Structures are given as structure tokens and as C-alpha cells.
Amino acid sequence: SNPLCSLLTGIKIKKEVANAFVKRKKRSSPYEWYFEYYKSPLEQMHERCENYPPCDYLSEQVGLALAYNRFFG
């Protein structure tokens, strides 16, 4: 009867129902498998800048390369 209590206990669904919503993408080649786990240097640079708010803000103003070099270069 308490809405807060029901939120804390969570929602329980069957495994089959959950799998109907979440379909894992199959890897069709070793190339795709590799890039799923290893990111390009540009992607690593983008994530590092994105996780540091001043760099993220500056990258929106002047671009990723200049902002990254300003804080980490």
C-alpha cells in the first residue's frame, strides 16, 4: 500500500520477458569484436575530456582538440 516501499523493492519480471526487451547484438566478425573492447585514441581522448567538466564545456566552444590540449596536452 505504501508507494515508497514498492519503489524500494523494485520490479521483478521473468528472465524470458527481460530477454525479449534486451537482445544482445551478435558479433559478425573479429573486427567488430576488437572494436567493442578497444577504443580508438580519439574516442579515449573524447571520454577523458567529457569526464572533466571544464574541458567538456570548453570543447563545446572551441572544439575537442583545442580543449583537450589546453587541459591535458
Q: How far apart are CA 68 and CA 73, in angstroms?
A: 6
Give the pTM. 0.52
Q: How far apart are CA 15 and CA 13, in angstroms?
A: 7
**Burial class (CB within 10 angstroms; exposed 0-12, middle 13-18, buried 19+) of 49:** buried
Q: Are 51 and 59 in contact (CB under 8 A)?
A: no
pLDDT 10s digit of each residue in the chain, 73 long? 556 565 566 667 777 777 777 766 666 677 777 777 788 889 889 999 999 999 999 999 999 999 999 999 8
Spell out the domain ranges in the chain. Answer: 15-72
Amino acid at the residue 73: G
